[in-house]
């Protein structure tokens, strides 16, 4: 697979190089030079395969021969289902929350952990990642106990749910949780600064595992195919996916699936942090200050995958005018949760609720709507119980986590403090 740096196209890398580097020169993202579409007959054949077999074929098509054990990696990473569940008239939920940390990020993180484990050779690696909730949990779980790889997870203090925090901060061992006295964007800036500190980067073998890593994105391409495969054949040609967007990794993966031949269009669904919907409306890119909402994994005002979306549209000769969009306040989110539960007894957590309700507004005659269920309602139990008036059952893994003590360290949003902390705990 040939990739290039979106900020400096003289930097060209293979897939394994892109995974190891994470991010390129000048903080440029790596992106494929070309995406070869799958032909009709290959597509319909793929839809007949099961999730792991099909995902292996798709990833092999994208990545090529760089990973000799790709099949084993996919089998070991995708050990849970992604069921398509009817939620409303002509509207389905693609439930991506049946993995170990109950959010879609398990797909990307588990694939990435196994890819890195297989390509690192004897090099020591440190994963440094910023999370507004689910990434950290998924990454921590996916890498826990991996030989030769340490993980440092930064999250904004008090701005992620108690359960999310427990999933990140109770593992210990090679997983170091750090709560930052600030907001998510500051955590993300710390990560970027660390990557610019070349000496430090080299010393600890720094790698990012947030959605800027290309391996995560490619893993996520697979479940868009899984969604279509679960639809009856006659419904596969007119699909609209609604994606709850934060850093826009998930929707980038969907757009890659479209470039590969999946027949669908997309709706960008945002909370009040609506930089992209406003941009698509006006053509002006004007991020506001990030505000805290119920859907905290989407509280991002400068989505770091957006350059990839633009690059893909350019490469495919698509028009951004065809990208549908919407945004919702917390009040509207709550109403959507209540409305759907009263109608069909389908319980939504706030992220999925935004995707569902934006889809309901944007779906056209004759289309089948699929919104991405990005997290299990139990992950946001407090809010879901209060808003809908139910008592969501905590899955067993969460019950066990809830009882454990947090081992998180606390730091100000100051790069030098972070660096000193890391040098100490990583013993380098
Ligand atoms: C991360 C996350 C999102 C946003 O996904 P992006 O790929 O960052 O756009 C949406 N919902 C949930 C529950 C998440 O954890």
Which ligand 1 atom sits closest to the C-alpha of 351? 11
**Ligand 1 neighbourhood includes 134 CB (under 6 angstroms):** yes
Instruction: Taking residues 64-92, report their average pLDDT.
Output: 97
* Structure tokens given for 404: 């454990």
Take atom 14 of ligand 1 and give the residue whose Cα is closest: 297
**Ligand 1 neighbourhood includes 246 CB (under 6 angstroms):** yes
Per residue in 322-343, pLDDT tens? 999 999 999 999 999 999 999 9
For domain 81-102+214-392, give the CATH number.
Answer: 3.40.50.1100
Ramachandran angles phi, psi of 288, nearest 5°: -95, 175
Could you tell me the distance, in angstroms and rounded to a whole number, from the CA of residue 374 to the centre of ligand 1?
7
**Ligand 1 neighbourhood includes 249 CB (under 6 angstroms):** yes
Could you tell me the distance, in angstroms and rounded to a whole number, from the CA of residue 297 to the centre of ligand 1?
5
* Structure tokens given for 279: 């941009």
CB 228 within 8 A of CB 38: no
**Ligand 1 neighbourhood includes 377 CB (under 6 angstroms):** no
pLDDT for res 195: 87
Secondary structure of 201-240 as H, E, C letters: HHHHCEECCCCCCHHHHHHHHHHHHHHHHCCCHHHCCCEE
Give Cα separations from 230 to 46, 55, 81, 85, 138 (angstroms). 12, 14, 12, 9, 25
Which ligand 1 atom sits closest to the C-alpha of 352? 11
394 DSSP assignment: P
**Ligand 1 neighbourhood includes 182 CB (under 6 angstroms):** no
pLDDT for res 212: 86
pLDDT for res 240: 98
- Please state whether beta strands 409-411 and 264-270 pair in parallel, antiparallel, or not at all (unpaired): unpaired
Residue with tokens 């990208």: 323
- Please state whether beta strands 30-32 and 264-270 pair in parallel, antiparallel, or not at all (unpaired): unpaired
**Domain extent listing, the chain:** 81-102+214-392
Could you tell me the distance, in angstroms and rounded to a whole number, from the CA of residue 428 to the centre of ligand 1?
33
Confidence band for 427, pLDDT divided at 50, 70 and 90: confident
Give Cα separations from 7 to 31, 265, 308 (angstroms). 10, 27, 11
Q: Please state, in angstroms and rounded to a whole number, the distance separating the CA atoms of residues 83 and 87.
A: 12
Per residue in 160-188, pLDDT tens? 888 889 999 999 999 999 999 999 889 98
Per residue in 285-318, pLDDT tens? 999 999 999 998 899 999 999 999 999 999 999 9
**Ligand 1 neighbourhood includes 103 CB (under 6 angstroms):** yes
In this predicted structure, the answer to whether residue 237 has a pLDDT above a threshold of 90 is yes
Take atom 15 of ligand 1 and give the residue whose Cα is closest: 134
Residue with tokens 């100051």: 414
Pick from 244, 307, 333 the residue to mutate for probing ligand 1's pocket: most ligand atoms within 8 Å of its CB: 244
| SS3 assignment, position 277 | helix
Per residue in 241-262, pLDDT tens? 999 999 999 999 999 999 999 9
**Ligand 1 neighbourhood includes 105 CB (under 6 angstroms):** yes
Confidence band for 357, pLDDT divided at 50, 70 and 90: very high
In this predicted structure, the answer to whether residue 394 has a pLDDT above a threshold of 80 is yes
- Of 39, 24, 410, which Cα lies nearest the Cα of 214? 24
- Of 359, 403, 406, 396, which Cα lies nearest the Cα of 376? 396
Per residue in 260-276, pLDDT tens? 999 999 999 999 999 99
Q: Please state, in angstroms and rounded to a whole number, the distance separating the CA atoms of residues 226 and 58.
A: 11
393 DSSP assignment: P
Could you tell me the distance, in angstroms and rounded to a whole number, from the CA of residue 63 to the centre of ligand 1?
24
Most confident of 81-85, 200-204, 296-300: 81-85
Q: Please state, in angstroms and rounded to a whole number, the distance separating the CA atoms of residues 78 and 85.
A: 19
- pLDDT, greater one: 136 or 96: 96
- Of 81, 44, 364, 42, which Cα lies nearest the Cα of 233? 44
**Ligand 1 neighbourhood includes 297 CB (under 6 angstroms):** yes
Q: pTM for the complete prediction? A: 0.91
The sign one gets for the Cα dihedral 340, 344, 345, 348 is negative
Q: Which residues pair with 265 in a beta bridge?
A: 240
Could you tell me the distance, in angstroms and rounded to a whole number, from the CA of residue 210 to the centre of ligand 1?
11
pLDDT for res 162: 83
Q: Please state, in angstroms and rounded to a whole number, the distance separating the CA atoms of residues 163 and 380.
A: 8
Give Cα separations from 152 to 166, 174, 178 (angstroms). 15, 8, 7
pLDDT for res 45: 97
**Ligand 1 neighbourhood includes 374 CB (under 6 angstroms):** yes
pLDDT for res 153: 95
- Of 82, 87, 142, 78, which Cα lies nearest the Cα of 352? 87
Q: Please state, in angstroms and rounded to a whole number, the distance separating the CA atoms of residues 253 and 423.
A: 35
CB 240 within 8 A of CB 267: yes
Could you tell me the distance, in angstroms and rounded to a whole number, from the CA of residue 414 to the centre of ligand 1?
26
CB within 8 Å of 400: residues ≥ 6 apart: none
In this predicted structure, the answer to whether residue 401 has a pLDDT above a threshold of 90 is no
Per residue in 32-77, pLDDT tens? 999 999 999 999 999 999 999 999 999 999 999 999 999 999 999 9
- Of 217, 253, 257, which Cα lies nearest the Cα of 239? 257
pLDDT for res 325: 98
pLDDT for res 422: 97
**Residue 8, number of CB atoms within 10 A of its CB:** 12
Per residue in 99-116, pLDDT tens? 999 999 999 999 999 999
| SS3 assignment, position 299 | coil
pLDDT for res 290: 92
**Ligand 1 neighbourhood includes 245 CB (under 6 angstroms):** yes
pLDDT for res 396: 86
| Average pLDDT for the chain | 95
Take atom 2 of ligand 1 and give the residue whose Cα is closest: 297
**Residue 127, number of CB atoms within 10 A of its CB:** 29
The sign one gets for the Cα dihedral 13, 118, 53, 139 is negative
């Amino acid at each position: 697979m040939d990739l290039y740096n979106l900020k400096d196209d003289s930097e060209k890398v293979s897939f394994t190089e892109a995974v190891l580097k994470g991010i390129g020169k000048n903080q440029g993202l790596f992106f494929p030079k070309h995406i070869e579409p799958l032909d009709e007959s290959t597509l319909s054949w793929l839809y007949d395969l099961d999730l792991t077999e099909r995902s292996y074929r798709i990833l092999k098509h994208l990545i090529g021969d760089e990973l000799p054990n790709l099949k084993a990696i996919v089998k070991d990473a995708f050990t849970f289902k992604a069921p398509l569940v009817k939620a409303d008239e002509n509207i389905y939920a693609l439930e991506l929350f049946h993995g170990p940390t109950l959010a879609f990020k398990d797909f990307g993180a588990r694939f990435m952990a196994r890819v890195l484990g297989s390509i690192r050779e004897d090099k020591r690696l440190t994963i440094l990642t910023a999370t507004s909730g689910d990434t950290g949990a998924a990454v921590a779980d996916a890498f826990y106990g991996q030989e030769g790889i340490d993980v440092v997870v930064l999250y904004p203090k008090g701005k992620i749910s108690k359960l999310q925090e427990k999933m990140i901060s109770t593992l210990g061992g090679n997983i170091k949780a750090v709560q930052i006295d600030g907001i998510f964007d500051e955590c993300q800036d710390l990560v970027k600064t660390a990557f610019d500190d070349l000496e430090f980067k080299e010393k600890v073998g720094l790698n990012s595992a947030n959605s800027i890593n290309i391996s995560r994105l490619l893993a996520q391409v697979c479940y868009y195919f899984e969604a279509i495969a679960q639809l009856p054949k006659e419904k596969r040609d007119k699909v609209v996916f609604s994606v709850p967007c934060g850093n826009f990794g998930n929707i980038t993966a969907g757009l890659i699936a479209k470039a590969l031949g999946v027949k669908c269009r997309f709706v960008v669904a945002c909370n009040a942090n609506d930089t992209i919907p406003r941009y698509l409306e006006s053509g002006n890119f004007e991020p506001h200050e990030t505000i805290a909402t119920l859907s905290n994994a989407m509280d991002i005002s400068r989505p770091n995958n957006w350059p990839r979306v633009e690059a893909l549209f350019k490469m495919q000769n698509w028009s951004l005018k065809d990208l549908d969009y919407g945004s919702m306040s917390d009040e509207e989110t709550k109403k959507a949760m209540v409305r759907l539960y009263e109608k069909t007894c389908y319980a939504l957590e706030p992220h999925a609720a935004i995707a569902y309700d934006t889809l309901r507004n944007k779906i056209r005659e004759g289309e089948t709507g699929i919104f991405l269920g990005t997290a299990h309602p139990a992950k946001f139990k407090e809010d879901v119980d209060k808003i809908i008036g139910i008592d969501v059952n905590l899955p067993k893994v969460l019950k066990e986590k809830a009882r454990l003590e947090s081992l998180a360290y606390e730091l100000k949003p100051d790069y030098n403090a972070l660096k000193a902390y890391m040098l100490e705990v990583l013993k380098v």
